[in-house]
Amino acid sequence: MNISVNGDSANSKADERRSKRRFSIAQEVKYRLLYGERIGEAGTGKTMNISSGGVSFTTDAPLAPGLPVELAIQWPALLRGTVPLRLVTYGIVVRSHDHSAVATIDRYEFRTQGLRVMA
């Protein structure tokens, strides 16, 4: 797990346009573009950074800006030290280029993924 906080130096704060603190979290992500009642494109990638307002992540291919997207992110912490968690977010793709995209977080929930078996 790799987590760091971006924007802590005075110079980077002056250059930073975002209003939310971003955390560099590299975790597995599954994404699904939502076309009303049906699911469109789906793929996997890795998160690059997360804030309370959005997620930057890698993609298999460029995603269409303006479309609703669901992200399922493997969360780095375990519930009660044994239960894996997944952060599921719902938002809009705001930009995409080559093999990366940025999506808003309009709604989110944590879900459990079952008990982890300890060897």
The answer to whether residue 3 scores a pLDDT higher than 70 is: no
114: left (phi over 0), alpha (psi -120 to 50) or beta: left
68-87 confidence digits (pLDDT tens):
999 999 999 999 888 999 99
Predicted TM-score of the model (pTM): 0.78
Q: Of 98, 108, 36, 28, nearest to 67 (Cα)?
A: 36
| pLDDT score of 4 | 46
pLDDT one-digit tens code per residue, 24-49: 999 999 999 988 777 788 999 999 99
pLDDT at 119 over 90: no
Token digits of residue 43: 């793929």
| In the chain, where the domains are located | 3-7+21-112
| 19 pLDDT more than 50 | yes
| Top CATH class, 3-7+21-112 | mainly beta
Mean pLDDT of 47-71: 95
